[in-house]
Protein backbone atom coordinates (compact mmCIF):
# COMPACT_ATOMS: atom_id res chain seq x y z
CA UNK A 1 0.00 0.00 0.00
CA UNK A 2 1.35 3.41 -1.01
CA UNK A 3 1.59 5.98 1.75
CA UNK A 4 0.68 9.56 0.97
CA UNK A 5 0.50 12.60 3.24
CA UNK A 6 -0.77 16.10 2.56
CA UNK A 7 1.52 19.01 1.72
CA UNK A 8 -0.91 21.83 2.38
CA UNK A 9 -3.51 22.75 4.95
CA UNK A 10 -6.87 23.99 3.73
CA UNK A 11 -6.00 27.67 4.19
CA UNK A 12 -2.89 27.31 2.02
CA UNK A 13 -4.93 25.53 -0.63
CA UNK A 14 -7.63 28.18 -0.77
CA UNK A 15 -4.98 30.91 -0.86
CA UNK A 16 -3.29 29.20 -3.80
CA UNK A 17 -6.40 28.84 -5.95
CA UNK A 18 -7.43 31.87 -8.02
CA UNK A 19 -10.95 33.12 -7.24
CA UNK A 20 -12.11 32.33 -10.78
CA UNK A 21 -10.74 28.78 -10.70
CA UNK A 22 -13.05 26.02 -11.87
CA UNK A 23 -12.03 23.04 -9.81
CA UNK A 24 -12.20 19.31 -10.44
CA UNK A 25 -11.30 17.09 -7.48
CA UNK A 26 -10.14 13.60 -8.44
CA UNK A 27 -9.42 10.93 -5.91
CA UNK A 28 -8.27 7.39 -5.57
CA UNK A 29 -10.35 5.15 -3.35
CA UNK A 30 -7.71 2.61 -2.43
CA UNK A 31 -4.33 3.56 -0.92
CA UNK A 32 -5.12 7.29 -0.64
CA UNK A 33 -8.33 6.53 1.27
CA UNK A 34 -6.53 4.17 3.62
CA UNK A 35 -3.93 6.85 4.47
CA UNK A 36 -6.12 8.20 7.26
CA UNK A 37 -8.71 9.38 4.75
CA UNK A 38 -6.45 11.64 2.67
CA UNK A 39 -8.41 10.50 -0.39
CA UNK A 40 -11.58 8.56 -1.10
CA UNK A 41 -15.25 9.40 -1.45
CA UNK A 42 -15.69 11.19 1.87
CA UNK A 43 -12.55 13.30 1.50
CA UNK A 44 -13.56 14.28 -2.02
CA UNK A 45 -17.09 15.22 -1.01
CA UNK A 46 -15.87 17.20 1.99
CA UNK A 47 -13.25 19.11 0.00
CA UNK A 48 -15.74 19.94 -2.77
CA UNK A 49 -18.20 21.25 -0.16
CA UNK A 50 -15.60 23.39 1.61
CA UNK A 51 -14.33 24.92 -1.63
CA UNK A 52 -17.88 25.62 -2.82
CA UNK A 53 -18.75 27.25 0.53
CA UNK A 54 -15.73 29.48 0.02
CA UNK A 55 -17.02 30.63 -3.33
CA UNK A 56 -15.08 28.51 -5.77
CA UNK A 57 -16.76 26.85 -8.69
CA UNK A 58 -16.62 23.07 -8.38
CA UNK A 59 -17.14 21.35 -11.70
CA UNK A 60 -16.99 17.88 -10.20
CA UNK A 61 -15.62 15.40 -7.71
CA UNK A 62 -14.59 12.09 -9.21
CA UNK A 63 -13.50 8.99 -7.33
CA UNK A 64 -11.82 6.03 -8.97
CA UNK A 65 -11.05 2.72 -7.31
CA UNK A 66 -7.47 3.15 -8.52
CA UNK A 67 -5.89 6.13 -10.25
CA UNK A 68 -2.51 4.57 -10.99
CA UNK A 69 -3.69 2.48 -13.96
CA UNK A 70 -3.72 4.40 -17.21
CA UNK A 71 -6.39 2.20 -18.77
CA UNK A 72 -8.76 2.74 -15.84
CA UNK A 73 -8.39 6.53 -16.10
CA UNK A 74 -8.84 6.48 -19.87
CA UNK A 75 -11.94 4.34 -19.59
CA UNK A 76 -13.42 6.77 -17.08
CA UNK A 77 -12.53 9.73 -19.28
CA UNK A 78 -14.44 8.10 -22.12
CA UNK A 79 -17.57 8.94 -20.15
CA UNK A 80 -19.07 12.04 -21.72
CA UNK A 81 -20.07 13.75 -18.47
CA UNK A 82 -16.61 13.43 -16.99
CA UNK A 83 -14.93 14.53 -20.21
CA UNK A 84 -17.13 17.64 -20.17
CA UNK A 85 -16.22 18.34 -16.54
CA UNK A 86 -12.54 17.98 -17.31
CA UNK A 87 -12.82 20.29 -20.30
CA UNK A 88 -14.67 22.90 -18.26
CA UNK A 89 -12.23 22.83 -15.33
CA UNK A 90 -9.14 25.00 -14.98
CA UNK A 91 -7.62 23.33 -11.92
CA UNK A 92 -7.39 19.71 -10.83
CA UNK A 93 -6.82 18.67 -7.23
CA UNK A 94 -5.69 15.03 -7.15
CA UNK A 95 -6.21 13.24 -3.84
CA UNK A 96 -3.97 10.44 -5.05
CA UNK A 97 -0.43 9.18 -4.81
CA UNK A 98 2.39 10.51 -6.98
CA UNK A 99 1.66 8.10 -9.81
CA UNK A 100 -1.96 9.23 -9.86
CA UNK A 101 -0.75 12.81 -10.21
CA UNK A 102 1.50 11.90 -13.12
CA UNK A 103 -1.31 9.98 -14.82
CA UNK A 104 -3.58 13.06 -14.55
CA UNK A 105 -0.83 15.29 -15.86
CA UNK A 106 -0.47 13.08 -18.93
CA UNK A 107 -4.17 12.51 -19.56
CA UNK A 108 -5.43 16.03 -18.78
CA UNK A 109 -2.53 18.27 -19.84
CA UNK A 110 -4.60 21.47 -20.16
CA UNK A 111 -5.45 21.49 -16.45
CA UNK A 112 -3.31 23.09 -13.78
CA UNK A 113 -2.57 20.32 -11.32
CA UNK A 114 -2.53 21.42 -7.69
CA UNK A 115 -0.24 18.90 -6.05
CA UNK A 116 -1.54 18.50 -2.53
CA UNK A 117 -0.14 15.04 -1.80
CA UNK A 118 3.32 13.91 -0.83
CA UNK A 119 3.95 10.22 -1.38
CA UNK A 120 6.43 9.05 1.25
CA UNK A 121 6.79 5.33 0.57
CA UNK A 122 5.36 1.88 1.11
CA UNK A 123 3.48 0.61 4.14
CA UNK A 124 0.63 -1.40 5.56
CA UNK A 125 -2.60 -0.90 7.44
CA UNK A 126 -2.20 -2.39 10.90
CA UNK A 127 -5.25 -3.29 12.95
CA UNK A 128 -3.53 -1.91 16.05
CA UNK A 129 -1.26 0.89 14.73
CA UNK A 130 -3.23 2.24 11.78
CA UNK A 131 -1.34 3.18 8.62
CA UNK A 132 2.35 2.37 9.07
CA UNK A 133 5.23 3.40 6.79
CA UNK A 134 7.74 0.57 6.31
CA UNK A 135 9.86 1.68 3.33
CA UNK A 136 10.56 5.33 2.67
CA UNK A 137 11.34 7.09 -0.58
CA UNK A 138 12.09 10.23 1.43
CA UNK A 139 15.83 10.36 2.12
CA UNK A 140 15.63 12.07 5.48
CA UNK A 141 13.62 9.27 7.06
CA UNK A 142 15.37 6.44 8.86
CA UNK A 143 12.89 3.69 9.62
CA UNK A 144 13.03 0.87 12.17
CA UNK A 145 12.20 -2.64 10.93
CA UNK A 146 8.64 -2.46 12.22
CA UNK A 147 8.01 0.88 10.48
CA UNK A 148 6.57 4.13 11.82
CA UNK A 149 2.89 5.11 12.09
CA UNK A 150 2.00 7.57 9.34
CA UNK A 151 0.93 10.12 11.96
CA UNK A 152 4.50 10.24 13.29
CA UNK A 153 5.90 10.49 9.78
CA UNK A 154 3.71 13.55 9.20
CA UNK A 155 5.08 15.17 12.35
CA UNK A 156 8.68 14.33 11.48
CA UNK A 157 8.38 15.74 7.97
CA UNK A 158 6.18 18.73 8.78
CA UNK A 159 3.37 17.38 6.60
CA UNK A 160 -0.35 16.90 7.25
CA UNK A 161 -2.27 13.70 7.91
CA UNK A 162 -5.66 12.77 6.48
CA UNK A 163 -8.30 14.83 4.71
CA UNK A 164 -8.50 18.60 4.33
CA UNK A 165 -10.20 20.26 7.27
CA UNK A 166 -10.99 23.86 8.07
CA UNK B 1 1.54 2.98 -7.59
CA UNK B 2 2.54 -0.52 -6.75
CA UNK B 3 5.30 -2.14 -4.76
CA UNK B 4 7.83 -3.77 -7.03
CA UNK B 5 9.06 -7.18 -5.99
CA UNK B 6 11.45 -9.72 -7.41
CA UNK B 7 11.41 -13.39 -6.50
CA UNK B 8 14.34 -14.87 -4.61
CA UNK B 9 15.80 -18.09 -6.05
CA UNK B 10 13.92 -21.24 -5.12
CA UNK B 11 17.12 -22.61 -3.54
CA UNK B 12 17.09 -19.72 -1.08
CA UNK B 13 13.55 -20.55 0.02
CA UNK B 14 14.39 -24.26 0.29
CA UNK B 15 17.40 -23.43 2.45
CA UNK B 16 15.17 -21.44 4.78
CA UNK B 17 12.88 -24.45 4.98
CA UNK B 18 15.59 -27.06 5.48
CA UNK B 19 14.19 -28.18 8.85
CA UNK B 20 10.53 -27.70 7.98
CA UNK B 21 8.22 -30.44 6.77
CA UNK B 22 4.89 -28.64 6.41
CA UNK B 23 4.08 -25.12 5.29
CA UNK B 24 1.23 -22.89 4.25
CA UNK B 25 1.79 -20.58 1.29
CA UNK B 26 0.25 -17.14 1.64
CA UNK B 27 0.19 -15.19 -1.60
CA UNK B 28 -0.70 -11.55 -2.23
CA UNK B 29 -2.96 -10.99 -5.21
CA UNK B 30 -2.31 -7.31 -5.90
CA UNK B 31 1.16 -5.77 -6.38
CA UNK B 32 3.04 -9.07 -6.08
CA UNK B 33 0.64 -10.59 -8.59
CA UNK B 34 1.39 -7.75 -11.02
CA UNK B 35 5.11 -8.48 -10.66
CA UNK B 36 4.66 -12.23 -11.13
CA UNK B 37 5.85 -12.91 -7.58
CA UNK B 38 2.41 -13.50 -6.08
CA UNK B 39 -1.11 -14.38 -7.15
CA UNK B 40 -2.59 -17.79 -7.75
CA UNK B 41 -0.44 -18.99 -10.62
CA UNK B 42 2.87 -18.16 -8.93
CA UNK B 43 1.57 -19.73 -5.72
CA UNK B 44 0.64 -22.94 -7.53
CA UNK B 45 4.06 -23.06 -9.20
CA UNK B 46 5.83 -22.60 -5.89
CA UNK B 47 3.66 -25.25 -4.22
CA UNK B 48 4.55 -27.70 -6.98
CA UNK B 49 8.28 -27.12 -6.50
CA UNK B 50 8.16 -27.17 -2.71
CA UNK B 51 6.24 -30.45 -2.76
CA UNK B 52 8.80 -31.87 -5.21
CA UNK B 53 11.60 -30.86 -2.86
CA UNK B 54 10.31 -32.50 0.28
CA UNK B 55 8.33 -29.64 1.76
CA UNK B 56 4.64 -30.49 2.05
CA UNK B 57 2.32 -27.62 1.25
CA UNK B 58 -0.69 -28.27 3.44
CA UNK B 59 -2.47 -25.02 2.69
CA UNK B 60 -2.59 -22.24 0.13
CA UNK B 61 -4.11 -18.86 0.95
CA UNK B 62 -4.66 -16.15 -1.64
CA UNK B 63 -5.18 -12.72 -0.05
CA UNK B 64 -6.16 -9.64 -2.04
CA UNK B 65 -3.79 -7.34 -0.13
CA UNK B 66 -1.53 -8.72 2.56
CA UNK B 67 -0.71 -5.11 3.52
CA UNK B 68 -4.29 -4.60 4.70
CA UNK B 69 -3.94 -6.59 7.88
CA UNK B 70 -7.64 -7.23 8.43
CA UNK B 71 -7.61 -9.29 5.24
CA UNK B 72 -5.41 -11.81 7.04
CA UNK B 73 -8.20 -12.66 9.45
CA UNK B 74 -9.61 -16.06 8.71
CA UNK B 75 -6.49 -17.36 6.99
CA UNK B 76 -5.61 -20.83 8.17
CA UNK B 77 -1.91 -21.44 8.53
CA UNK B 78 0.70 -23.81 9.82
CA UNK B 79 3.59 -22.86 12.14
CA UNK B 80 5.65 -21.98 9.06
CA UNK B 81 4.26 -19.65 6.42
CA UNK B 82 5.88 -19.12 3.04
CA UNK B 83 4.95 -15.56 2.13
CA UNK B 84 4.69 -14.28 -1.44
CA UNK B 85 4.27 -10.55 -0.81
CA UNK B 86 6.26 -7.34 -0.46
CA UNK B 87 8.17 -6.12 2.58
CA UNK B 88 5.12 -4.29 3.93
CA UNK B 89 3.09 -7.46 3.62
CA UNK B 90 5.83 -9.25 5.53
CA UNK B 91 5.68 -6.83 8.44
CA UNK B 92 1.88 -6.94 8.36
CA UNK B 93 1.93 -10.77 8.57
CA UNK B 94 4.60 -10.82 11.29
CA UNK B 95 2.54 -8.46 13.40
CA UNK B 96 -0.65 -10.46 12.79
CA UNK B 97 0.97 -13.81 13.62
CA UNK B 98 3.89 -13.16 16.00
CA UNK B 99 4.33 -16.86 16.81
CA UNK B 100 4.58 -18.01 13.20
CA UNK B 101 7.81 -18.53 11.29
CA UNK B 102 7.44 -16.50 8.12
CA UNK B 103 9.69 -17.17 5.15
CA UNK B 104 9.49 -14.44 2.49
CA UNK B 105 10.07 -15.46 -1.12
CA UNK B 106 10.42 -11.92 -2.49
CA UNK B 107 12.76 -8.96 -2.33
CA UNK B 108 11.12 -5.55 -2.48
CA UNK B 109 12.97 -3.20 -4.80
CA UNK B 110 10.89 -0.05 -4.58
CA UNK B 111 7.73 1.59 -5.85
CA UNK B 112 6.53 1.82 -9.41
CA UNK B 113 3.63 1.81 -11.81
CA UNK B 114 1.69 -0.98 -13.46
CA UNK B 115 0.25 -1.04 -16.95
CA UNK B 116 -2.57 -3.59 -17.31
CA UNK B 117 -2.34 -3.31 -21.09
CA UNK B 118 1.20 -4.67 -21.19
CA UNK B 119 0.92 -6.65 -17.97
CA UNK B 120 4.15 -5.21 -16.65
CA UNK B 121 5.24 -3.05 -13.74
CA UNK B 122 8.05 -0.49 -13.89
CA UNK B 123 10.34 0.45 -11.01
CA UNK B 124 10.22 4.25 -10.60
CA UNK B 125 11.41 4.93 -7.05
CA UNK B 126 13.97 2.32 -5.98
CA UNK B 127 14.72 1.70 -2.33
CA UNK B 128 18.36 1.97 -1.16
CA UNK B 129 20.53 -0.71 -2.73
CA UNK B 130 18.33 -1.09 -5.81
CA UNK B 131 19.05 2.20 -7.59
CA UNK B 132 20.58 0.46 -10.61
CA UNK B 133 17.23 -1.21 -11.33
CA UNK B 134 15.42 2.10 -11.81
CA UNK B 135 13.27 1.85 -14.93
CA UNK B 136 13.38 -1.95 -15.03
CA UNK B 137 10.21 -3.81 -15.89
CA UNK B 138 8.67 -6.66 -13.95
CA UNK B 139 7.96 -9.54 -14.15
CA UNK B 140 11.55 -9.74 -15.31
CA UNK B 141 12.72 -12.52 -17.60
CA UNK B 142 14.36 -14.08 -14.56
CA UNK B 143 11.58 -16.34 -13.35
CA UNK B 144 13.90 -18.51 -11.34
CA UNK B 145 11.74 -18.27 -8.23
CA UNK B 146 8.83 -19.97 -9.94
CA UNK B 147 10.63 -22.08 -12.53
- Taking the Cβ of residue B108 and every Cβ of chain A, the question of whether any pair is shorter than 8 Å is answered with yes
> Which chain A residues have a beta carbon less than 8 Å from that of B111?
2, 119, 121-122, 135, 137
Whole-angstrom CA distances from A21 to A90, A103, A106 are: 6, 21, 20
Q: How far apart are the first and last CA of chain B?
A: 27
CA torsion A69-A127-A137-B3 (nearest 10°) is -40
pLDDT at B144: 45
- For B72, the domain range is 2-146
Is residue B10 scored above 50 in pLDDT? yes
Question: CA A17 to CA B85: how far, in whole Å?
Answer: 41
Nearest Cα of chain B lies from the Cα of A127 at a distance, in angstroms, of: 6
Query: What residue ranges do the domains of chain A occupy?
Result: 2-122
Tens digits of residue pLDDT in A74-104: 888 899 999 999 999 999 999 999 988 988 8
With beta carbons under 8 A apart, name residues in chain A contacting B125: 137
* CATH number of the domain to which B104 belongs: 3.40.50
CATH of A2-122, one of 2.10.260, 1.10.720, 1.10.3470, 3.40.50: 3.40.50
When pLDDT is cut at 50, 70 and 90, the band that residue B145 belongs to is: very low
Range with lowest mean pLDDT among A68-82, B27-41, B132-146: B132-146
What's the pLDDT at A139?
77
Examine the pLDDT at B90 and tell me if it is beyond 60: yes
Q: Please tell me the least confidently modeled range out of A34-48, A103-117, B5-19, B133-147.
A: B133-147
Per DSSP, B68 falls in state B
CA atoms of B35 and B4, how far apart (whole Å): 7
Q: In what order do the strands lie in the sheet with B56-63?
A: B56-63, B22-28, B80-84, B101-104
pLDDT value for B140: 67
pLDDT at A73 over 90: no
Give the residue from A74, A94, A135 with the most B CB atoms within 10 Å of its CB, the best one to mutate. Answer: A135
- Does position A24 have pLDDT exceeding 90, yes or no? yes
Q: Is A28 on the interface with B (CB under 8 A)?
A: no
Contacting residues of A for B2, CB less than 8 Å apart: 2, 68
At CA B6, angle to CA B5 and CA B10, rounded to 5?
135
Model confidence pLDDT, tens digit, residues B117-138:
888 899 988 998 999 999 999 9
Indicate the number of domains in chain B: 1
pLDDT at B110: 94
Pairing of strands A57-64, A22-28: parallel
Cβ-contact A164, A50 below 8 angstroms: yes
- Determine, for residues B108 and A122 on separate chains, whether the beta-carbon distance falls below 8 Å: yes
Among the ranges given (A65-69, B74-78, B121-125), the one the predictor scored with the smallest mean pLDDT: A65-69
- What is the pLDDT at residue B143? 45
Question: What rounded mean pLDDT belongs to chain B?
Answer: 93
Region A38-63: mean pLDDT is 97
Interface check for A75 against chain B (CB to CB < 8 A): the answer is no
Query: Could you report the predicted ipTM of this complex, rounded to two decimals?
Result: 0.90
Amino acid sequence: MIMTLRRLDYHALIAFLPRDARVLVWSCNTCARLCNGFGGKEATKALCSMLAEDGLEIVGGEVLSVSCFKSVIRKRLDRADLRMMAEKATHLIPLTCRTGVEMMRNELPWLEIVEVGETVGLGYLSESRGAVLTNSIVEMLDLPDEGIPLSEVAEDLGLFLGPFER
Amino acid sequence: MVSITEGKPLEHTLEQLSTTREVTILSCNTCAHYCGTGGRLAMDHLAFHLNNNGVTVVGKELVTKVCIQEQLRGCNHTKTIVLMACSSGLISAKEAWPDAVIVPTNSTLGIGSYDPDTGSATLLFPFPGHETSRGARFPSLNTEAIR
